[in-house]
Amino acid sequence: MKTTKIIYWVSTSIICLFASTAIFMNSKMAIDGATHLGIPHWLGLEVSIGQLVGLVLLIVPAVPARFKEWAYVGFGIMYLTAMNAHLSVGDPIGNTIMAIAFFGLLLVSYFSFHKLQKAK
């Protein structure tokens, strides 16, 4: 049980730290990256807001499990879409590694969350 809690909090914290970078969506590097992938600026802003909401839903312990489930779904769709976007513009597979790694980390967080829920 203790190991599962540690795995959950470490994996969830890493995801949330990465999601907190959404506040930099207006940076030159972020705008150039989104343009390269063909993502309109308004959609990038929407995704950034969604990341910040998802961050709060995942990290706050008092949030009901149903809301956490939707945050996991949102992050999962975002990481899979990022992987697909990089592949569709012909980027090398190395550019998709972050999306794949964070999707894997999201799965670790998700399954450890459910393991903790069953233990209650």
pLDDT digits (tens, 9 = 90+) for 49-66: 999 999 999 999 999 999
Q: What is the residue extent of each domain of the chain?
A: 2-119
5 phi and psi angles, rounded to 5 deg? -60, -45
pLDDT attached to residue 31: 83
pLDDT digits (tens, 9 = 90+) for 56-95: 999 999 999 999 999 999 999 999 999 999 999 999 988 8
Contact 47, 80 (CB under 8 A): no
